[in-house]
Structure 1
Amino acid sequence: MRDEWPEALTMRYLEAGAGVDTVDGALDAKTVPFAILAQATSGRYRLAYDGRSTEAGPESIVIAPPHRRLTFGHYATDESVMRSRWAHVAFSLWGSIDLWDLVELPRRLDGRAAEIVGESIHALLTDAPGEDPVRRLTRRLQIGATLAEVLITASTPRPEAADIAEGAFQLRPLLRYMQESLADPLDVAQLARVACLSEATLHRRFRQVFGTTPMRYLKRLRLDEAARTLGRTDRTIGAVAEEVGFANPYHFSREFQRAFGMPPRDFRTAASR
């Protein structure tokens, strides 16, 4: 089964940005569905989550995991300026298993690993004007693979990772179907038919593997995809909601705020920094 993992891995999200902050000590709190790799090219970052904080200057990279409440502190140099650059990256296994759910990401990278990430972010920020789309896609895939390799090498597998991966492997046709059908009005009966399982067995499998119900898992897939779409496109919130299966944009906004701690409009702004 493990021989299939490389082919099963998909890069779902890769975006980069840079900015200048002139407010020393500015705080940025958010929850996101992707890993954040951030470098202060001048000044320093302080990243806090799960009751611990990590600081990093220009020689290091801070790493923030998805689905945690994060607080970034921005601290300027003596010239009262902080310059930074970052990449947001997400990979999935069999279409819907978040790769970062299987490992404990390091809070900081130093040395050669930090240099590689910094070089990769720089490459993402320097797309050549007029570059052939196929070449650009190939280059981005190569950069994404490099970032994944650095992060996985520096990470620690979670104790439950093997059980999640083994269980998800058995459910992979259903997981792919769920990811490909986010816009459709799915219910448990339909999911059970796709999985060729009874509804009771499907519930039990999801509880054992993911610790939640099939419909709650589907809702997370929908909201994560919506957040990534908001971060990389200018589609209207109503259009994004419809694309991930929410017919009512008000219901979508309420569920989105529960998941990410802010409404979709504010998340779009937060995702760009």
Structure 2
Amino acid sequence: MSVTSVLQALSERGPGAVSLAYPKGRYRLHAMVTSAGYDECSGRSYDWDGLKRGEVPFVLLQHTIAGTGRLRYENRQFTLRPGQTMLLNFPHDNRYWLERNKSWEFLWICLNGREVLRMWQELKAVGPVVELPETSLHRLVETCLAVLDGTVTTPAQASVLAYSMAMQLADDLLAWGAVRTASKRPAAIERAISLIHGNPAEFLDVERLARASGYSRYHFSRLFEQHEGISPARFLLRLRMEEASRLLRLEEGSIKAVAQRCGFVDANYFTKVFRRFFGITPRDFRRSGMFNGAPPTSPG
């Protein structure tokens, strides 16, 4: 179903909300949906203060479908318009409300759990008001419908929905994963990236990339991050780590040889960086096999 279709299904249900409260059991789940709902506010009071919602930490996604709402986030003011979504955490210095003689149609989901809260520390940098890509908006509406329709009946199901929602937001809003290339790169950035791809085993730093681009280091770094979503140093590191993981999976060379082919002179330093990046040493990465899609085929 399209986003329009699921929003229509939500509207046809009418205003409503469902809370999911489960007793603490043997298994501690680190992501959880706690409530979801849909509302149409008009001619009545609607006002929430982020410092008066208790001490238990949680997060809120509230998407405006029609009408307008107001948000004060710390010292900034926002008018929430159709298509915009609030990403808020609590307790926090925020307030959102409906102005007199206005209307506001919206849906919301509240989440908590350690993993959700950790991810929100990253998402705060792009909020508190965003326009969600269609993938995240579709996931948001479908999650809300699932809770309202009563299909979420166990803690595990609520946890899957919460984690999936948080990861979809991260995938759509944060600069990680594949480099986004929707917009045409300036020639200066293209020269720098070509240099990186063409010399994976050579030591490259931001200073050399800046010279290749024809800009000062400061201007190059600012332009690079503007177009690629991450700093040039992080981009370079990510490509090195991706190449290292590929070599460890597909070839049998020593860790030192892999390090050198990825631009690291010191194998011990390479191991330290690799572990910080992937959470596992290069040796364990190769030995465990958990990152291999299938065992390598024997040469014919």
Q: TM-score, normalised by structure 1?
A: 0.40
**Relative contact order (alpha carbons < 8 A, sep ≥ 6): 1 or 2 greater?**
1
Q: TM-score, normalised by structure 2?
A: 0.37
Structure number with larger C-alpha Rg: 2
